[in-house]
Amino acid sequence: MRSYKKNRRPYLTAYLEDGRCSFSNNLSGNTIRPFTFGRKNWLFCDTPNEAQASAIVYTMVEMVKANRVNVYHYLTYLLEKMPNDRMNDEKMDILAPWNENIKSEIEHRANDANQSYVNCQGAPAAESIR
């Protein structure tokens, strides 16, 4: 056991060399927590294509949250701007939630709807839809 730890010491202490690295995995744990809630929902994916579509949407939502962008307004914007055909990586980068132009557009939309820019849930209240 001692040699196992000794041989892996450089990997186990790598976080000490970079101040950006956390020695806690709380962020990882909190990020994957929704997966535990989603497991029951994913039981109803009858085909691999349904499961893949669910995973893609879930990944997109988590990516938007990680970039502190309003999820509802981002997805609405994305559905309006994306053409019906497939897009290449370069075109997708333009629509990515980390793109500053997209962030400012979503912030503008959220402000127009009287919602927080960083409200991760983002859906407007029922009375504001009417």
- Spell out the per-residue pLDDT of the chain, length 130, in tens: 678 888 888 888 877 888 787 778 787 777 777 766 667 777 788 898 988 888 888 888 888 988 989 999 999 998 888 866 677 777 788 889 999 999 999 988 888 887 654 544 544 444 444 3
Q: Which two tokens stand for residue 95?
A: 């629509």
What would the two tokens of residue 43 be? 């039981």
Number of folded domains that form the chain: 1
For residue 95, tell me if it sits in a domain: yes
Tokens describing residue 15: 């976080």
Taking the CA of residue 60 as centre, how many other CA atoms within 13 Å lie in the half-sphere pointing to its CB?
18
In a domain, 105, yes or no: yes
122, 73 contact by CB (below 8 A): yes
Residue 117: inside a domain? yes
SS3 for 79?
A: helix
Instruction: Establish if 99 belongs to a structural domain.
Output: yes
Please report whether residue 5 resides in a domain: no
* CA separation for the pair 59, 38 (Å, rounded): 12
Tell me which residue range forms the domain holding 51.
Answer: 27-129
- For residue 102, being part of any structural domain is answered with yes
